[in-house]
Structure 1
Amino acid sequence: MQTSSLVFESEEAVAPGDPGDLAADVRRAGMDLALQGHRGDDVSARMAELEHCARQWARLGLGLDRLQQAVHQGYRAGSDRAYAVAPLTDTDAAIVAARRHLDLLEAVHVRLTRAYTRQLPAPVDSHQAAARNVAVALLRGELAGPLARHSGIPISARYHLVAIGLPRSAERDAAAPVVAARITAALTSRCGEGALSILGADGGTLLIPYEAVREGELHDLVADLAALTPNPPTAVVVVAEPAELPDAGRQAHELLETAMSLRIAPGLYPISELGLYFQLTRPGPARDVLHALLDPLEDHPDLLQTLGAYVDNDFNRRRTAGELHVHPNTLDYRLKRVHRMTGCDPATASGLWRLRSAMVVRRYTGRR
């Protein structure tokens, strides 16, 4: 048939990888569904493929509205192609075809919604709500003991307080409740009932009992939890006793905000690693001096870009040159120009320290 060339080459279900691949799979299956439905073919395989995609979509924590939108995009494209190849001039035939398409859309939305919702985690129960209230009380410095005893939640003598920040995205906002439920469930499974969390669309705070994580395992635990989020988070950790949690929480989130503003690479950072960044970005004469250090480069964006890449790549010449797609000698020439214009020599430790500090300040104030 003439319409067979319109169907994608492979009509087998694809195991989706990242969200972009999955959305493409959904659109392709929606297109195939429209084409096959228009011809009156059996669409059970396409329905099963879309249900599989819906379950994957829910497991990734993506919103149901975006799933339905992807289905409609593919279905609309398939319908347009089908009618373009074989336009219906008979009114009765057109009505029959339109009803067939409406029935198909109704069926696919019912089955996709059912597959998606069945994959979602169970609703938050009263125990999880109590655990959240205990965490709130601890972080506010309020009396948490009675509520904890009533709920059977042990309070640890020390906690790893982890402040987590999630990068902004449409998928993150739509998936926030699902992601929060998964992280909470995974944290409880790994660390017991004493592990507490307060999570929202922007991230939140984890209180992990100190004794629940052995030395060196915290990074692995946070990496496992990060795998449950649509985008890799940035996190700051500090160890504190219950009475110290309010101050520790404020400090950790201040440092996290600084790290997010500077777009530091995602990962888990001890509070000691970010202290210098925090001090450099506080208002005052020192920050103003560092900010002004790079003013001579304002009219030379290539030099600012080169210096930024050199700092980000930990002063590795070859890696920086490769990232900028220039020869290492070109990189050296640009760094010499930076030296002449700023008075700071990137070839010396003191010059590098001042340039790096100035870049941190400029990036922070620019982001703010």
Structure 2
Amino acid sequence: MSSPSQLPPIPADAPLRKVIEDRIDEIATTLLHEAVQSIEWPTPMPIEHFDGEVAPYIIGGFLYGLGLITEGRRVTRAEVATFVLPVAERHAEDGIPLPFLFTALHAGIRKLWEIVLESASEGDSETIAALGMYLADFTGTISVLMTEVYQDSDFALRATARRQLGALCAGLIDGAPDIDVLAKQVGIKLSDRYDVLAIRVDTDEPRTTHEILAARRRLRLANQVFYGRGAGEILNTFDGHAGVILLPAPVVEHCDDSAVTGHLGALVAALSDRLDIAVYAAYHPGAALAAIPAAVSEADEITRLARQLNRGPGIYQLADVLFEYQSTRPGPARDLLACRIAPLRDHPGLLQALQAHLQHGADRKAAAAELFIHPNTLTYRLRRIQDITGYDPTDPHQSRLLAAAMTVHTVDHADTPIAVTEPGNPG
């Protein structure tokens, strides 16, 4: 009879065990997919969302478990925790409800049992019985550990602390009058000045369940980057899509702006690498507490502008988009610029020609080559633009006005790319 810590051993040369060993990667993927599909997500959830972070732990658990069943001993909580805790903690931080995990766990175990029965032969009855005991024991231990993660007071306290730091950051951004009181409650000594960094990942606003969970995962990974650089000092409101980071500025005034750019650029690069996604960022160095709201507004607008204008990802400041920033300020001048370009909206070919001409300037051949048209065709289109708008793209003064109008058009229609016209068709 087996002792409480022992289960019936399964010989290493058992035929059914050999079948499972040879298919570990395939079985792990199958179980994961079955688990994900068993959950009634609010909107469709791509299975690939979990592959990179969950499948390796399933495979690792399989390999470890195969060694245990040869010895015929029960798995310990510490051993199960190695494979379960990282996954459970990630899902808890991502906001996936505990009942979802239970549903997924039992669906995966049920699928594994189906695979075992499908692969078994007449002589495998003892192996099947022993495997059933191992699975029951393993499932029970996993369930207890997952429950403890979700009920863990330290885990909850860490989540609460992050929310408090986020609230403090939001208060600084909003210019809250009682910010000193909130800072004392959180246990943070405010700096006199902060480097303001607005960030935005190159993806659309979260709408589906998958996008929401992907954003939460990015938030979790971003926090890991922040913690590695001093969690108590870096305040942020990043939600996995966009947000603001406040970093205490040195007491001495910055004498070298390139040093600030390098420091913040390294943080942006680390975030982009950890999140595995392009990041747009803009900064305002050394803002006093009272100036933080205005600095945030400016930096956030710069990140939006850089992305809308199809600039490459990276870190920007106002000087990098000075012309575009000023051209798109709300007011009568902006409205008038929009009116100047409006007649070309029904002529995508002319818009393309104007865009290429403004980009290449006097290099008519380069602009025409970009559009796959003859230089004479480009000349004709530029004349058509003058006829329709009243402004000559080849005139230096008037081309600057058209460039400003084109910037306003690009920002206003960032989600509507200029339609591609057939070569030779002026649109």
TM-score (norm 1): 0.60
Summarize deviations over 1:116-146 as a string: whole Å, max 9, x none. x9xxxx8854443332232122223233334
Tell me the number of residue pairs that the alignment of Structure 1 and Structure 2 aligns: 283
1:47 aligned partner, one-letter code: I
Gaps of 5+ in 1: 1-38, 54-62, 72-98
Summarize deviations over 1:186-213 as a string: whole Å, max 9, x none. 1232355311111225411111222399
Alignment partner, residue 66 of structure 1: 46
Matched, 1:175 2:200: no
Range with bigger deviation, 310-319 or 330-339: 310-319
Matched, 1:161 2:196: yes
Contact 1:164 1:204 in 2 (8 A): yes
- TM alignment of 1:25-174, pairs within 5 A: 42-47=22-27, 65-67=45-47, 103-104=114-115, 124-142=158-176, 143-149=178-184, 151-166=186-201, 167-168=203-204, 172-174=211-213
Alignment partner, residue 234 of structure 1: 280
Contact 1:154 1:194 in 2 (8 A): no
Q: 2 CA distance for matches of 1:285 and 1:139? A: 28
Q: 1 CA distance for matches of 2:217 and 2:360? A: 35
Q: 1 CA distance for matches of 2:375 and 2:216? A: 48
Q: 1 CA distance for matches of 2:225 and 2:398? A: 46
Q: 2 CA distance for matches of 1:327 and 1:208? A: 53
Range with bigger deviation, 220-229 or 172-181: 220-229
Q: 1 CA distance for matches of 2:180 and 2:237? A: 18
2:46 aligned partner, one-letter code: R
Contact 1:172 1:201 in 2 (8 A): no
Contact 1:184 1:197 in 2 (8 A): no
Alignment partner, residue 349 of structure 1: 396
Q: 2 CA distance for matches of 1:320 and 1:350? A: 19
| CA separation of 1:280 and 1:321: change in aligned 2, threshold 3 A | same
1:195 aligned partner, one-letter code: I
Q: 2 CA distance for matches of 1:69 and 1:189? A: 25
Contact 1:155 1:194 in 2 (8 A): no
Matched, 1:267 2:302: no
Q: 2 CA distance for matches of 1:256 and 1:324? A: 29
Summarize deviations over 1:46-101 as a string: whole Å, max 9, x none. 23577999xxxxxxxxx993226999xxxxxxxxxxxxxxxxxxxxxxxxxxx989
TM-score (norm 2): 0.53
Percent identical: 28
The structure that has the greater radius of gyration is 2
Contact 1:154 1:193 in 2 (8 A): no
Summarize deviations over 1:181-240 as a string: whole Å, max 9, x none. 221221232355311111225411111222399433122321321333454233232231
Contact 2:354 2:393 in 1 (8 A): no
Q: 2 CA distance for matches of 1:134 and 1:125? A: 14
Q: 2 CA distance for matches of 1:202 and 1:100? A: 35
Q: 1 CA distance for matches of 2:231 and 2:24? A: 44
Once the 2 structures are TM-superposed, how far is the Cα of residue 149 of structure 1 from its aligned partner? 4.5
Contact 1:255 1:275 in 2 (8 A): no
